[in-house]
Structure 1
């Protein structure tokens, strides 16, 4: 399984934004909500997906890269491998994502 530093776990860094809906069979299903101006510091993800429930504008910093502004629209989604990121809601609307973290062995 990919190693995640417990201090960089999304549930440790962003617990005030994260509601765990299910945690079984090595899969966590979470609702992640950020109001305008909210930000989450650097954290790590296992293999994961996200699906936009409520959209908005987010600055995203992935694996130490320059910030990229995302215009998240409801219905958008992405599948990704392990990575580190940080984010800030820079828009006027609340952003709500459905995130799935898959804790599985990696080669």
Structure 2
């Protein structure tokens, strides 16, 4: 069964690919679970991957942080505002079960909706 792509998620993917993102290796920001330990839990870490669980309650915002190339599974989606290190901001309504992949980037996420957002993040180690 093919997945439908929400127009705002296409905008998010476009934003990630078009903004001149600084690679994680060049970026001084910390990894998500170090920068925001109240919102990110490390589930697994080895030489190849870092697996994180993010939980953001309505109104919560994490600290600016970096991710290596990553795949994100939104176990429980919601309305998010995402700010990049360049200062660009995008709001996206992410449905439950949505999966996204993108290259390394630096960002801050704010839950601007009414539901708790839960995501599983699998980052490739460089």
- Taking structure 2 as the reference length, the TM-score comes to 0.74
Name the CA shift for 1:9/1:22 in 2 (closer, same or farther; >3 Å).
same
Which runs of at least 4 in structure 1 moved beyond 6 Å after TM superposition?
A: none
Cα distance in 2 between the residues matched to 1:55 and 1:16 = 19
Given the alignment, which residue of 44, 59, 67 partners 2:66? 44
- Taking structure 1 as the reference length, the TM-score comes to 0.86
**2:115 matched residue in structure 1:** 93
Name the CA shift for 1:65/1:5 in 2 (closer, same or farther; >3 Å).
closer
Q: How far did 1:77 drift?
A: 1.2
Matched, 1:9 2:31: yes
RMSD across aligned C-alpha pairs, in angstroms? 1.7
Kept in 2: contact 1:57–1:70 (CA 8 A): yes
Deviations 1:31-82 (A, max 9, x none): 1100001001211111111111001101001242421111011111111111
Comparing both chains, which one has the higher relative contact order based on Cα–Cα distances under 8 Å and sequence gaps of 6 or more? 1
Structure 1 stretches of 5 or more lacking a match? none
Q: How many residues align?
A: 103
Kept in 2: contact 1:52–1:77 (CA 8 A): yes
